[in-house]
Amino acid sequence: MSPDLQNALTDFIPQVVPEIVLGVSACVLFLGATFRVSRHVWGVFALVALTLASFALIATIRSLPLFTEPPTTFDKSKWPLYAAPVLFTPLALFFKVVGLVTGFLLVLLSWDEGGEDHAGEYHGCLLLLVAGIGLVGAANDLLTLFLALELISLPTYLLLYLPRADERAQEAAMKYFLLSVFSSGLLLFGFSYLYGLTGTTNIPALLDMFASGQERLAPNPEASTQQPWVGVTLLALVMIVAGLGFRITSVPFHFYAPDVYQGTTTPAAALLAFVPKIVGFAALLRILGYVPGLSAFERPLGTAMGEQVPMLLWIMAAVTMTLGNILALLQDNIRRLIAYSSVAHAGYMLIGLAVVRYLANAPGESVGGVEALLFYLVAYGAMTLGFFAVLHYLDSPDRPLESVDDLAGLGKSHPSCGLLLTLFLLSLIGMPLTAGFVGKFLIFFDAMGLSSQNAEQARLYRILALIAALNAAVGGWYYLRMIGVMYLREAIDPLPRPRPAPVVATIAVCATLTLGLGLFPQSLLQLIRDALPRPNAQLVARAADEGQAVARE
């Protein structure tokens, strides 16, 4: 074994120090939870652990070089550099930071969850979840990726079950468990095919192998339909997209969401709305090879097999947002409504994924699509977590906040809460000056901006942008209905005045983010641009040539 390879396999430990800190703290929390201590102790402990992990992350940034150097050509001598199970790339750093911020918000949001008895376990599970987000972002191997995804799924089952033990919560936890296990099975099935075809689980090696296979087929496109491996690869990709589609609640894997959100507590629903989406999209970006520059290949796996995978994502995006929005119109329970709204938002985000291929090859600075998708993810997280946090703040055991009608008169009885809910709802609609607007704008703009490519594709994606715009208008109706109920109707039985709680901090941060990203989107966009590697210059030039050739014909 070469020394380079050995170093790659042994020297990755310092890169995962933040995750190790979180894991060890979670173990302490699990053991500590068996002693009778006030639940506030465990909340504070979780916050301290997250702070320590943040410092560890800062230390790793200072001391370790970020893995930014993409080889321009297929260079065998550089392969050992890519052999590590995790790579500390700028994109991984982005996901780690998002994970830690989410962790802080979730710990504050669910401060009182789990009761005196299980608060320790609850916060321990939250810490494991944050570690999982960081590992998914950094994963460089199919096995690491799968384990990191499971590191998020397993604590999620507990988080659904721990805070409430009534029948509906149990049903929700059971439903989520069974469907999640099923989706993991699909994912593993897809992984096993990729492994069987290439003999490796290392993602860059795998992507490169498909790219070179595609290169060999390139002179004779008709032959590709006769090659069995092309079909098997497509099958594997469909399985993987299906398995991850469950996590991002895209149609047709969305049907668990409304029941589970409704059955579980508000903090757990907030977590389910955001965390699986981050990791689902992170994993999709990685496996489909939509992060150019990270491997020595030129064509992403998602497009190496032609137009099918972008087309699949196109259809999923269109169906997901349409169905999500239409079904949300019919809902009366707030959590159910937001579940369908989260399905619709997954649809908007899928547009970002569907257009990547064409934008990545387009001459230009940025990797469109991915950039818009990541911005939308952060904006979506801020507004959804904020919305759920206000709901949780107003909710009390004596006077549960369940249906839209419970919000009646909120604008008068709780002016500040009403104002904050309105802010988050306007952001979910996509009103200007909020984060939601910038996210939607970037996504729609990407879908519209394909004109330089071949005309048929451009038309197809303009249709997608049109569907999305119509959907945004439909979505406006049910969000505005909630605002209307808050301000135009009188409460028969007003909600009681809530007591101050750590949740207020979550609400404040989310509101700041929602407004801040809406007013100054450039700050986050620049961060995301820096996190994404530039597309290969040769590739861009070649794609431009091909585009001209197509145009001439």
Q: Site for another protein (CB under 8 A): which residue of 14, 34, 252, 473? A: 34
DSSP for 468-502, written as a single string: HHHHHHHHHHHHHHHHHHHHHS--SSPPPPPPP-T
Residue 181 or 541 having the CB closest to another protein: 181
158 binds another protein (CB under 8 A): no
Applying CB under 8 A, does 9 fall inside the site for another protein? yes
DSSP 333: B
CA dihedral 258, 245, 102, 532 (to 10 degrees): -150
Nearer to another protein, 121 or 406 (CB): 121
**Residue 24 C-beta: closest distance to another protein, Å:** 10
User: Cβ contacts of residue 151 below 8 Å, gap of 6+?
Assistant: 128, 129, 131, 132, 135
* Pair 368, 359: CB distance under 8 Å: yes
Binding-residue total with another protein (CB under 8 A) = 18
Angle subtended by helix axes 503-519 and 90-109, to nearest 10: 140
Least Å from the CB of residue 213 to another protein: 6
Which of 14, 31, 252, 477: binder of another protein (CB under 8 A)? 31
Nearer CB in complex with another protein: 1/549: 1
Q: How many CA atoms lie within 13 A of 77 on its CB side?
A: 0
Q: Is 182 in the site for another protein (CB under 8 A)?
A: no
State which residue, 32 or 386, has the beta carbon closest to another protein.
32
Annotate each residue in 204-233 with x if it binds another protein (CB under 8 A) or - if it does not, as one string. -----x---x-------------xxx--x-
Site string for another protein, 263-292 (x = CB under 8 A): ------------------------------
* 363 cis-preceded (ω within 30 degrees of 0): no
- The closest alpha carbon to 422, from 356, 481, 337, belongs to 481
User: Cα separation of 160 and 163, whole Å?
Assistant: 7
Round the CA-based radius of gyration of the chain to a whole number and report it: 23
Looking at the Cβ atoms of 21 and 337, the one nearer to another protein is 21
Can you tell me the distance from the alpha carbon of 75 to that of 73, in angstroms, rounded to the nearest whole number? 6
The 10 Å Cβ neighbour count of residue 279 is 27
CB of 147 vs another protein, minimal distance in Å: 13
Structure tokens at 117: 């008895």
Instruction: Examine residue 27 and tell whether it contacts another protein (CB under 8 A).
Output: yes
Q: Is 143 in the site for another protein (CB under 8 A)?
A: no
Residue 37 makes contact with another protein by CB under 8 A: no
Residue 31 or 311 having the CB closest to another protein = 31
118 vs 392 by CB, closer to another protein: 118
Site for another protein contains 10 (CB under 8 A): yes
- Helix 167-198 with 228-247: angle, nearest 10 deg: 160
Q: How close are the terminal C-alpha atoms of the chain, in Å?
A: 51
Site string for another protein, 430-459 (x = CB under 8 A): ------------------------------
Which positions lie near another protein, rule CB under 8 A?
1, 3, 6, 9-10, 13, 27, 30-31, 34-35, 197, 209, 213, 227-229, 232
